[in-house]
Structure 1
């Protein structure tokens, strides 16, 4: 009985987070990807989700302070029950990718405000994604420095393009200093936008 109560409380907290996100107007036009400060690298993540297939695709793009791609990945996930689960799995897979690349200082950035809030919170998570949140927090503690930041969708377009790209494949794919053409095009646009006038 107590596990059901815990689940319901967590679910209600997720719904409350969604409601607050929807009630906060955001200026989307001016939100762009911004490079990290050396020696940090930025790990952007996003997820595409299919309720019908119970699948998600994680898109991950890692860039340096010059906006250059250090690595990119798309991961296919089975038996995914919600967009929340898809997003937090993408965050966890982004952390794993950064760890496997041997990157000591990372900024992990995504466009799901509720997931970022859960990752930075110091309180116990009671939601349906609590075990994945716990895994992500534990993995983050293994970096020399790791912080989580929220960015609007227009500042996360490369990771979004990577997640959409992942839907075309059946297996996980990884690139080093490269990525699919759609992702490279977004990254190039982000670099041009970030250049001084």
Structure 2
């Protein structure tokens, strides 16, 4: 595939780390990593809401985005605009909070983003995902 592209990946797990949902999207555009992470969070919240989830803990290994989501920092950027959209959507959930997570605990999400680079449309799995994502989710459970 020519040109710039980024993969957005989400993984929703229950309290013991079992896979409830995974989804991916390929965005054909060049953008800074912080904006990609914000778009991934927004993508995840939209699909989580559509799937009926109403209580979420959202984890990201991008501390800059988590700081924006927690209101610790504010900036004039495309990332902030996306964060504002995230916060508006998050307010429709019964519970939604945002935390930093070490990348080693979030391999499944990064695996999903990598796989999503080949997608031509949004793909969603309930209690499943591409093989590499399922295997990464099992590995992530060890770090929960």
So what's the TM-score if we normalise by structure 1?
A: 0.67
**Using the alignment, how far apart are the partners of 2:83 and 2:34 within structure 1?**
11
Residue pair 1:88, 1:133 contacting (<8 A) in 2 also = yes
Matches within 5 A, 1:1-197: 53-121=3-71, 124-191=74-141, 193=142
CA-CA distance at 1:124 after TM superposition: 4.8
**Using the alignment, how far apart are the partners of 2:66 and 2:73 within structure 1?**
13
CA-CA distance at 1:55 after TM superposition: 2.3
Q: How many equivalent pairs are there?
A: 143
Alpha-carbon RMSD across the aligned residues, in angstroms, is: 1.9
Larger radius of gyration: 1
Q: Per-residue displacement from partner, 1:162-182 (whole Å, max 9, x unpaired)? A: 011111222211101100111
**Using the alignment, how far apart are the partners of 2:38 and 2:143 within structure 1?**
28
**Using the alignment, how far apart are the partners of 1:109 and 1:160 within structure 2?**
12
Structure 1 residues without counterparts, runs of 5 or longer: 1-51
CA-CA distance at 1:101 after TM superposition: 1.1
Residue pair 1:80, 1:86 contacting (<8 A) in 2 also = no
**Using the alignment, how far apart are the partners of 1:139 and 1:175 within structure 2?**
22
Structure 2 residues without counterparts, runs of 5 or longer: none
Query: Which portions of structure 1, spanning 4 or more consecutive aligned residues, are displaced by more than 6 angstroms?
Result: none
Structure with the bigger RCO (C-alpha within 8 Å, sep 6+) is: 2
So what's the TM-score if we normalise by structure 2?
A: 0.90
Change (3 A) 1:123 1:164: closer
**Using the alignment, how far apart are the partners of 1:152 and 1:54 within structure 2?**
27
Change (3 A) 1:190 1:123: closer
